[in-house]
Amino acid sequence: MQELALKYGCNPNQQPARVFMPQGKLPFTVLNGRPGYINLLDALNSWQLVCELKAATGLPAAASFKHVSPAGAAVAVPLSPTLQQIYFTEGAELSPIATAYVRARGADRMSSYGDFAALSDECDAATANFLLHEVSDGIIAPGYTPEALEILRQKRKGTYLVLQMDAAYQPEPLEVKQVFGVSFEQRRNDVKIDETLLADRPTKNQQIPAEAARDLIIALITLKYTQSNSVCYAKDGQAIGIGAGQQSRIHCTRLAGNKADVWHLRQHPKVLALPFLPGIRRPDRDNTIDVYISDEHDDVLRDGAWQQYFTEQPEVLTEAEKKAWLAEVSGVSLGSDAFFPFGDNIERAHKSGVSYIAETGGSVRDDHVIATCDKYNIAMAFTGVRLFHH
């Protein structure tokens, strides 16, 4: 048996804590830092996610994890000039795997603060250099170039957690966990997610272009490793809004939709033109943008308060301007880890530019959900697969 002692469990009072393999070796190696319990939950879940994304799309994939759910996930689709600006990569030479992580991190930069990064491919210097300037707790990848490892060992005063995963590792088909002294056993969720799940299209509009199908697959694979209930909005090769762990699906759809709206609003000309002071830290910039976009913008723009962020007082982004900008959004894909029980989810999704949906189907109100999709000419696929994750 191989075991590894951890700093503590979920909380500092939960000691001792360890991970172990009853037979064989642990499938990862600690190259730097000391892992905690939650670090490894994030690492092992995010590793599965990026491996499945790469297998499904053929593209390098990355994820940004927080509290055992993804804040973002993406594949290596080239960045537009606008995305380069909002992701802080203008003028940078990005490799495909760096591009994937930049996208994953940029899906929800507020939630990605202090994340655990996962890469499907070897971590290179471009990815490590981007991570060097972000607040992050650790990374898992199948390998690291010597330069990348040297860069990552500079983070967090030398304590940044770096894990190397054995890419050949395959777990046993049955998994076991214990809750309150009771052992639970089940088959691992090894369902394969690919475009065959999008074949059943009950809506009048049955056209799902190749890029939208890719984004639906990205959303579904992301949901497979997101605490349920969960939905995921995706566009342009990445998640743009993830709602996790909500007891009500409509609240999940609203939460994720609000995040998707923020992702789009960060690209508004007024946001891109905000006159930030030179040298302002990325987290401070992210927080300021989030407040500026929200209904609380007066907290940033009130007399004198703006001076700690901007060289001059910026114009207000009005509610009318936000609504007009979001009204132009379309082509967004939405995945759900289970069926939508009511058409209200579709109504909310439509407000965030959703044109394509993949959900389980099987609700007694499927007819209402289909009718609501038809109302907005949304193409929907019933996957027949539930993706609960707990």
The alpha carbons of the chain give a radius of gyration, in whole angstroms, of 21
Note the helical H segments in the chain. Answer: 37-57, 81-86, 96-106, 125-132, 146-152, 210-224, 249-265, 269-272, 282-293, 298-301, 319-327, 344-351, 366-375
Considering the candidates 39, 229, 235, 264, report the single residue annotated as catalytic: 229
Report the distance separating Cα 216 and Cα 194, nearest Å: 9
**Tokens for 197?**
């799940």
Is residue 53 a contact partner of residue 31, using CB atoms and an 8 Å limit?
A: no
Is residue 176 a contact partner of residue 20, using CB atoms and an 8 Å limit?
A: no
Is residue 384 a contact partner of residue 197, using CB atoms and an 8 Å limit?
A: yes
First-last CA distance in the chain: 27
67 is a catalytic site residue: yes
β-strand pairing of 174-179 with 182-187: antiparallel
Backbone angles phi, psi at 335, to 5 degrees: -115, 150
β-strand pairing of 230-235 with 332-336: antiparallel
229 is a catalytic site residue: yes
Considering the candidates 66, 155, 224, 264, report the single residue annotated as catalytic: 66
Is residue 11 a contact partner of residue 20, using CB atoms and an 8 Å limit?
A: no
Report the distance separating Cα 170 and Cα 329, nearest Å: 41
Is residue 360 a contact partner of residue 331, using CB atoms and an 8 Å limit?
A: no
CA angle (375, 356, 387) in 5-degree steps: 115
So which residues are the catalytic ones?
A: 66-67, 229, 390
